[in-house]
Structure 1
Amino acid sequence: MRLFTEHPGSVGETYLEHLQVAWSFGFPLVRAGIGCIVHGLLPFLCSNTGSKTILAQHARLIAARGRNDTGPQFDWCI
């Protein structure tokens, strides 16, 4: 059970809250990635989808990090 609660607890969330937040970041990024693939094939489509999504998600991440700042954290998950 600790595997599912340790990290969410470290950022002040329950497992389900963390799941919701992670998905609220992940799904738009997946959509942006698909938009980038479409744009590569058809350059006249989705010309701003990736960059707009990344900028919006970055702003959300920085705002959230400020509320839950516990110092530098490094995660090498690739």
Structure 2
Amino acid sequence: MIRLFTEHPSTVGETYFQHFRAASRFGVAMIVGGLACLVHAVFPWVCEKSGSSMIRRLYRAMVTNRADLARLDEVEDSFDWVI
């Protein structure tokens, strides 16, 4: 049963609680961005760039940051660690 809560987070290098926090932040950001888009739909002069800015921010946070972590893992794996 606990595997259901830990399997996916471990595939992205996070604990359950780290993943919970990150996913919650993404969810709130998507809600805020979606609301900005709805406001923009009614009032086209308001929130002109908010939706696209949020998409870029979320993309950078998810793809770029995870890619940086993957590269760091590759570098660390290339060393022979002796303690």
TM-score normalized by the length of structure 1: 0.79
Distance 1:10 1:59 in 2: 19
TM-score normalized by the length of structure 2: 0.75
**Residue aligned with 2:45, SS:** coil
1:6-46, Cα deviation, whole Å (9 max, x unpaired): 00111111111001111122211110001001100111211
Distance 1:37 1:55 in 2: 18
Deviates more, 1:15-24 or 1:55-64: 55-64
Structure 1 vs Structure 2 CA RMSD: 1.4
The structure 1 segments of at least 4 consecutive aligned residues displaced by more than 6 Å after TM superposition are none
1:60 corresponds in structure 2 to 61
Q: Residue 21 in 1 paired to residue 22 in 2?
A: yes
How big is the shift at 1:64?
2.4
More helix by share: 2
How big is the shift at 1:68?
3.6
Whichever residue aligns with residue 14 of structure 1, its letter is T
Which fold has the larger relative contact order, with Cα–Cα distance below 8 Å and residues 6 or more apart in sequence? 1
Structure 2: give runs of 5+ residues left out of the alignment.
72-83
Q: Aligned pair count?
A: 69
Whichever residue aligns with residue 21 of structure 1, its letter is A
Structure 1: give runs of 5+ residues left out of the alignment.
70-78
